[in-house]
Chain A
Amino acid sequence: GAGVSQSPSNKVTEKGKDVELRCDPISGHTALYWYRQSLGQGLEFLIYFQGNSAPDKSGLPSDRFSAERTGGSVSTLTIQRTQQEDSAVYLCASSSFQTGGYTFGSGTRLTVV
């Protein structure tokens, strides 16, 4: 597609359940990023994939969070045993090294009740 696609756009889950968030980046973009944004706050870096290199996981807040990028394209962010503090908008972005600017998806709004 022409842009970065994220699904679902909204997710309500019960505390303790696992969730999977999906990101489909722009074709040909080698870099893919996950950020999260709490209400009224800035963006918090979670994880960064660049080509076939090992991902930079330094932003993941706990071992309940993990992410994969299959075939250098689609990425899935998994949150296990969700907690209420996990409620946020999860944003995915991709970029090509040449341009430097990110293209963001519309995000997934996660609500843990």
Chain B
Amino acid sequence: SQQGEEDPQALSIQEGENATMNCSYKTSINNLQWYRQNSGRGLVHLILIRSNEREKHSGRLRVTLDTSKKSSSLLITASRAADTASYFCATDAYNAGNMLTFGGGTRLMVKP
């Protein structure tokens, strides 16, 4: 079963708008990561947030983590057509070594 579940499954916005994707998980974690995937091939690591962190920024990306609610959100500000991709959250569970469990992903489409 999947540890992370993304919401929404699909999101369509206009260029320049902000995109928010949410992720919920079930068990205690060491960290939570977000990845991006273009065209169904390799994933690219975007950002890692540790369980003792609440918010992290990287360029136009902002990630929040609420361990009490077992949830995270990824915000992409001022979206661009090139941001069109699938976005996955992945959790490094507390007793799973360094192994990540991925959610089903959010398919983001940014219309020019």
Per-residue 0/1 for A40-65: is the Cβ within 8 Å of any B Cβ (1 yes, 0 no)? Answer: 01110100101000001000000000
Per-residue 0/1 for B90-112: is the Cβ within 8 Å of any A Cβ (1 yes, 0 no)? Answer: 10100001111111110000000
B interface residues, tally (CB under 8 Å):
24
A interface residues, tally (CB under 8 Å):
26
Measured between beta carbons, the chain A residues less than 8 angstroms from B33 are 100-102
B88 touches A42 (CB 8 A): yes
Min CB–CB distance A110 → chain B (angstroms):
13
> Whole-angstrom distance between the alpha carbons of A97 and B90 in the complex?
16
Across the interface, A91 reaches (CB within 8 A) one of B2, B31, B42, B103, namely: B42
Given A43-B88, A100-B31, A104-B42: A35 in contact with B102 (beta carbons within 8 A): yes
Min CB–CB distance A11 → chain B (angstroms):
14
> Whole-angstrom distance between the alpha carbons of A42 and B42 in the complex?
12
> Whole-angstrom distance between the alpha carbons of A106 and B44 in the complex?
10
- List A residues at the B interface (Cβ < 8 Å): 4, 31, 33, 35, 37, 39, 41-43, 45, 48, 50, 56, 89, 91, 93, 95, 97, 100-107
